[in-house]
A and B are shown apart, each in its own frame.
Chain A
Amino acid sequence: MRLKLAFSLGAGLFALTAASAQAQEALKIGVVSVLTGPAASLGQQVRDGFQLAVDKNGGKLGGVPVQITVIDDELKPDVAVGKVRSFIDSGKVDFVVGPVFSNILGAIAKPVLDSGAFLISPNAGPSTMAGKGCHQNFFVTSYQNDQVHEVLGKYAQDQGFKRAYIIAPNYQAGKDSLAGFKRYFKGEIVDEVYAPLTSMDFASDLAKIASTKPDVVFAFLPGGLGVNFVKQWSQAGLQGKIPFLSAFTVDESTLPAQQDAAVGLYGGMTWAPNMDNAQTKAFVSAYEAAYKIVPGSYAQQAYDAAMLIDSAVKAAGGTGDKDKLRAALKKADFTSLRGKFKFNTNGYPIQDFYLVKVAKRADGKFQTEIAQKVFTDYADPHAKDCALK
């Protein structure tokens, strides 16, 4: 009898310590982002936006302490796969959040998803993983890549522009971008230019624009390309003369360099730092206080990714039951900085898209501001090819 009691007591104690160990076991999250090279300023926003949400929650998500490993993918798929694999092999990974670029996502998706971890993309939203290649453990807190370009095409069409000059870098995303624009814009394409990815000087393209006098210019020139183009655009005296629509060309990551040259130029996005809701106001002021720059969509989407994980882990009571956790993720029951946010069957969001315009704030900093809504509850066209329900 006494022996039995001792046993059960011991077993009970054991169970108790095991349970408390369970509760104390940290949520293991890998943040994969580009932190070296010219695109590092985007990757830093992803890392910092995610960290800000975790810090705001006292180092916990869903009430569970978080252990974050930041992985620099160097924007090289082979490097990314190597680092992500060794991170996964280190054992029991709950979430991988990342990356910024679609080509990196293509490389790391399989090893991450095969391990049973959830993959949350805070930026990359390729069509390949939205349709047939969708996966039940893959969620995107940004948008499907095509959609941003379509915003500008739709706007150009709605404005009644007849002749458009469109330019993008000569690689796959550039071609997808111009195809996305043309999906909604039905007017004449004066010229469709594919510039080398290493272009520095767009003077010759600008001279052509000035001489062909299109009604509107659409550009997809991310990072340094956009900085060069926009500065030279203003120096060539085109600012304010020809409407300038763009995707990923004027945003908070490039505005510190473009400054006044970008004021009045348009982009397309799902959010802007002046979005009129309480959570955005709090987020922007906290981010600026912590990192001294105006947060862009990259930081915002990473922040939303953290809040999504927070809501799901809380609802599922931990990460033990994957099915419960997945169902909680799908509900997207968190307060997005965008306000409205829900997931489609393929794990991509259904949300509103806006035309955003660059403005100079009273404190001298630059940011994008919402100009008008272009799409309401817009779902990507690839979801119908996804087998998930």
Chain B
Amino acid sequence: MTTGLLIVQILNGLQLGILLFLVAAGLTLVFGVMDFINLAHGVQYMLGAYLAVTFIGLTGSFLLGLALALAAALLIGLALEFLIFRHLYERDHLDQVLATFGLILLLNQAVKMVWGAAPLSVAVPELLSGNVRLLDGILYPTYRFVLIGAGLAVAALLWFIVEKTRTGMLLRAGASNAPMVSALGVDIRKLFMIVFAFGTMLAGFAGVMAAPILSVEPGMGDNILILAFVVIVVGGIGSIRGAFVGALIVGLVDTLGRSFMNDLLRLFMSAPSARATGAALSSMLIYLVMATVLFVRPEGLLPAKGRS
């Protein structure tokens, strides 16, 4: 194990964390403010990626495609809110889970009908297709640096909105006690719609940004949804800061676990058994982290204020 390898793996962990944060931020807001479990959030990430395939293909420009895909993701999100989610806010969690799970099945199948079942892909924008040389001659793709940068910029923007603007204040208030916000004369429906639209767009953004490095395929949102739930449980439900910290923890633990668990176990195990144990243990690691957090701090590491 070299320093160069360690640095690359930390970057990889950060990058996974950033991607998770973009998905989890919307999920945690919707869950925290609206008390609404939206399993279909992962599907919105998938839609973002598919829209990127279409619009980047049509326009031939990554930036233009990104803008169009975001706009389309927003429109689809608003349409879904208007047609389906709006009618579920008052229902209990089981109804929400059932309805949004149904939506996953429906949209996964719809995507297959529109774009086909075979995996698709988006080329990395020409300008960013190079590599950055790190220590020991290890190359790191420029695009991944950009992804990390873009994710951090979005995180900063979110922090600004949530902490410094009036809408953000209402959001925080909503996350702490939604009925009280409503009682104070705030149009909670409108607030919900803003939160929802914004969350959808973030997931769509994550999908677009992931499209050049991951394969775009039906069901791609399902795996990331599970990880995003782990993130918000670790970070604290309804808390953007929690989602950020949780996402980085999950990203780093997963990546570093996968890369170094074998070597670690090999210190006191034979190679084949270290391999088998390492593979099993490293895929369990983030769930162990989640279980530990739940045990020590059931409300999450950085819970939204006033929520217990």
For residue A37, which residues in chain B have a CB less than 8 angstroms away from its CB? 117, 218-219
A173 to B241, CA, bound (A): 41
Residues in A with CB closer than 8 Å to B131 are 235-237
Is B224 among interface residues, defined by CB-CB distance under 8 A? yes
Cross-chain contact B224 with A254 (CB below 8 angstroms):
no
B139-A208 in contact (CB<8A):
no
- Contact of A235 with B141 in the complex, beta carbons under 8 Å: yes
Kindly identify which residue among B8, B214, B255 contacts A228, using a CB–CB cutoff of 8 Å: B214
Query: Interface extent on A, as a size class?
Result: 35 or more
Contact A203 B214 (CB under 8 A): no
Please determine whether A228 and B2 come into contact, CB atoms closer than 8 angstroms: no
**What is the number of residues of chain B that contact chain A, defined by CB distance less than 8 Å?**
49
Indicate if B149 sits at the interface (CB-CB under 8 A).
Answer: no
Question: Is B144's beta carbon under 8 Å from chain A?
Answer: yes
* Chain A residues within 8 Å of B2, by CB: 211
B residues in contact with A203, CB < 8 Å: 8, 12, 15, 144, 255
Q: Contact at A257–B121, with CB atoms within 8 Å?
A: yes
Tell me whether A162 is interfacial, beta carbon within 8 Å. no
Stretch at the interface among A38-46, A93-101, A345-353: A38-46
Chain B residues lying within 8 Å of A35, measured Cβ to Cβ, are 117
Q: Flag whether B250 is at the interface (Cβ < 8 A).
A: no
Contact A210 B139 (CB under 8 A): yes
CB distance from A284 to the nearest CB of B (A): 18
A257 touches B262 (CB 8 A): no
Is the Cβ of A200 less than 8 Å from the Cβ of B262? no
A300 touches B (CB below 8 Å):
no
Considering residues B138, B140, B215, which has the most beta carbons from chain A within 10 angstroms of its beta carbon?
B215
Distance of A36 Cα from B8 Cα, bound (Å): 37
Distance, CA A166 to CA B15, complexed state (A)? 25
B121 with A227: CB separation less than 8 A = yes
**Given A204-B12, A207-B9: A41 and B116 interface contact (C-beta under 8 Å):** yes
Tell me whether B223 is interfacial, beta carbon within 8 Å. yes
Q: A210-B138, A236-B141 are in contact. Are A258 and B213 (CB under 8 A)?
A: no
CB within 8 Å of B: which A232-261 residues: 232, 235-237, 253-254, 256-259
Q: How far is the CB of A322 from chain B (nearest CB, A)?
A: 36
Contact of B118 among A192, A195, A235, A253 (CB under 8 A): A253
Interchain CA distance A194-B277 in the complex, whole Å: 10
Q: Tell me which residues across on chain B come within 8 A of A195, comparing CB atoms.
A: 258, 279
B 1-41 to A, binary, CB cutoff 8 A, 1 in contact else 0: 01011001100110110000000000000000000000000
Chain A residues within an 8 Å CB radius of B136? 211
When distances are taken between beta carbons in the complex, the residues of chain A under 8 Å from B216 are 257
Interface string of B239-268 (1 = CB under 8 A from A): 000000000000000011011001000000
Bound Cα distance from A333 to B275, whole angstroms: 47
Known: A194-B275, A237-B131. A211 touches B215 (CB 8 A): no
Q: Which of A208, A224, A231, A257 contacts B213 (CB 8 A)?
A: A231
Q: Is the CB of A192 within 8 A of B138?
A: no
Say yes or no: is B162 at the interface (Cβ < 8 Å to chain A): no
Whether A170 is near chain B, meaning CB under 8 Å from some CB there, is: yes
Contact of A224 among B129, B220, B224 (CB under 8 A): B220
Contact between B16 and A254 (Cβ–Cβ < 8 Å)? no
A201/B259 in contact, CB under 8 A:
no
Q: Is the CB of A41 within 8 A of B138?
A: no
CA of A92 to CA of B20, assembled, Å: 53
- The answer, yes or no, to whether A376 is at the interface (CB within 8 Å) is no
B215 with A231: CB separation less than 8 A = yes
Contacts A200-B224, A211-B2, A227-B217 hold; do A235 and B283 have CB atoms under 8 A apart? no
Cα distance A201–B276 when bound, in Å?
20
B121 touches A231 (CB 8 A): yes
A193 to B279, CA, bound (A): 8
A258 engages B121 (CB within 8 Å)? yes
What chain B residues lie within 8 Å of A208 (beta carbons)? 5, 259
Nearest residue (CB) in B for A292 is B116
Residues of B within 8 Å of A258, CB to CB, are 121
Q: Does B294 contact A (CB under 8 A)?
A: no
A227–B121 Cα distance when bound, in Å, is: 8
Interface residues of B (CB under 8 A from A): 2, 4-5, 8-9, 12-13, 15-16, 109, 112, 116-121, 123-124, 129, 131, 136, 138-141, 143-144, 212-220, 223-224, 255-256, 258-259, 262, 275-276, 279-280, 283
Beyond A35-B117, A193-B262, A227-B119, 14 additional contacts (C-beta under 8 Å) are: A37-B117, A37-B219, A38-B117, A38-B218, A38-B219, A200-B214, A203-B12, A204-B8, A207-B5, A207-B8, A207-B12, A210-B139, A231-B121, A259-B123
Q: Which residues on A are within 8 Å of B, measured CB to CB?
A: 35-38, 40-41, 44, 170, 191-196, 198, 200-201, 203-205, 207-208, 210-211, 223-224, 227-228, 231-232, 235-237, 253-254, 256-259, 293
